[in-house]
Structure 1
Amino acid sequence: MKILLSIWAILAICITTGHALSCTQCSSDSSTTCQGNSETCPAGFVCRSFYFENSAGSSSLQRSCSHPRECNIKGGFTIKQVTFMMASSCCDTDNCDPPLPPSPPISSVPNGVTCPSCTTTGSTSCQSSEVIKCTGDQNRCVLLTQEGNTGSIYRGCATKEVCDLQVFSGNVLSGQKISCTNGDISIHRAVLTTTIACILLVKWLL
């Protein structure tokens, strides 16, 4: 009986520990592919391709180990007047090659949400009177922070997918912590909504 219990205990440990994948670690700022060394990932991680581009014309590709929560992500954020779009794809075998994920299109259509926007480096705060109009699916106000003397802070608009990540890992924004709030509806839209509500109320009372 003791031998049987010992066998079950060993099997449980093996199942819990899981298999650690090996994934290619590489990056490229001018190509849609890259080559690099193979590294062993933490248990439970997968191999990921992360494609990143912005409205200024820059792009980058990174392949690395990743937590599964950062797979199949499509989203973006806007800091100041620059919009960043990102997409990821994953695979779960040793040194597999995740396909290049298509980046979501950049929208210029305002959605009625406004957010404060600023950037700073080497500081613990980022305050600005500048407000930007969010576009497309970017209906959250985002705060990106990175600790340390050379840390950076960014404020702007973001999609729900970016906000749900909570922290970036294994990409161009590795280590950036993400916190979001619901965006403010622009004052013009708020006034219009209130006006319509008042008109409907008056008509109902009459």
Structure 2
Amino acid sequence: MDVRLVLCLLWALLATAHARPSSCYQSIPGESSIVRNCRSWEDSCITAQEVNTIEGVVNTGVFQSCIPSQFSLEGDLDFEFGEGVYVRVHSEICRETNCNTGEIKERPQISTVPNGRQCPSCYALGSNHCRHNKILHCQGAANHCIDITGTLSEKNINIETPFAARGCATKDVAKIKAGMCLVSGVFIYQITTIQLSPAPKMESVDGF
């Protein structure tokens, strides 16, 4: 298994006293799907569906595996950076043996209705910095402003690409902390810095 993936899965080794699965369905981009026995610190099964356009095209994928519950970010982790660039992750966890082997349901369509909020926006792949020069009108449940930097990489490709971005995000993104390594359906994201704050109303973005 890729060293970066192992590090992601081992960042939280504290086991809990909750019921834990003995095995989970594992589906990792670039590997064959299997049923894998869970390690002592892995107390949950996860299914994470990702769709993104960060390379200029639509990428989709699913990640399933055993995982520590402290690593499991459940919910809708949606980032909208403007100019058609977005990252959308729908993640579910469960704690029974092979409970993530069911049919993967199509995620409900993302709302495109303006919510009256706005954020500065920018996106730079291959850089640690981006300077916002546009205002993004937030839509649907993306009612927070996000400022994030980090690196992304693909399974079996030992290249980490820096990125920096600003835009709108859902409140579930608040679960992500600096230093986390997120394994999703397409990329592995190493988060360097992240700031999330409630998006101001469309009259002003001062103070962000």
Deviation at 1:39, TM superposition (A): 6.2
> 1:164 aligned to 2:175?
yes
Give how far 1:160 is off. Answer: 0.2
Higher helix share: 1
AA aligned to 2:93 is C
CA distance in 1, matches of 2:201, 2:46: 36
Matched, 1:185 2:201: yes
Q: Quick one: distance in 1 between partners of 2:164 and 2:85?
A: 15
1:109 equivalent in alignment to 2:125: no
Q: Counterpart in 1 of 2:7?
A: none
Work out which of the residue numbers 125, 129, 132 in structure 2 matches 1:128.
132
| CA positional deviation for 1:91 | 2.7
Q: Please name the residue that 1:9 is paired with.
A: none
The separation in 1 between residues aligned to 2:137 and 2:197, in whole angstroms, is 15
Residue 52 of structure 1, CA deviation: 1.6
**1:186 and 1:59 mapped to 2: Cα distance?**
32
SS at the partner of 2:173? helix
Q: Rg bigger for which structure?
A: 1
Runs of 4+ in 1 over 6 A off after TM superposition: none
Give the deviation of 1:158 after TM superposition: 0.4
Change (3 A) 1:122 1:53: closer
TM-score, normalised to structure 2's length? 0.64
- Cα distance in 1 between the residues matched to 2:170 and 2:197: 11
Report the AA paired with residue 163 of structure 1: A
Q: Is the 8 A contact 1:45 1:68 kept in 2?
A: yes
Runs (5+) with no aligned partner, structure 2: 1-14, 153-159
Q: Distance in 1 between matches of 2:65 and 2:116?
A: 37
Amino acid at match of 1:176: I
CA 36–15 in structure 1, closer or farther in 2 if over 3 Å, else same? closer
What CA distance in whole angstroms lies between the structure 1 residues aligned with 2:40 and 2:81?
Answer: 32
List per-residue Cα deviations over 1:45-78 (Å, max 9, x = no partner).
4110101235875421111233435354134221
**Which residue matches 1:49?**
47
- C-alpha deviation, 1:168, in angstroms: 5.2
Give aligned pairs, total: 173
Q: What RMSD over aligned residues (CA atoms) do the two structures have, in Å? A: 3.7
Unaligned runs of 5+ in 1: 1-13, 189-206
TM-score by length of 1: 0.65
Residue 88 of structure 1 pairs with residue 91 of structure 2: yes
The answer to whether the Cα contact below 8 Å between 1:115 and 1:157 also exists between their aligned partners in 2 is yes
Structure 1 pair 36–146 and aligned structure 2 pair: CA distance change class (3 A): farther
Q: How has the CA–CA distance of structure 1 residues 181 and 98 changed in structure 2, closer, same or farther, with 3 Å as cutoff?
A: farther
Aligned in 2, Cα 1:142/1:101: closer, same or farther, shift over 3 Å? farther
Q: Mean Cα displacement is larger for which, 72-81 or 112-121?
A: 72-81
State the Cα distance separating 1:114 from its structure 2 match. Answer: 1.0
- For CA contacts below 8 A with separation 6 or more, give which structure has more relative contact order: 2
Q: For 1:77 and 1:182, how far apart are their aligned partners in 2?
A: 14
Amino acid at match of 2:168: C
Maintained 8 Å contact 1:46/1:92: yes
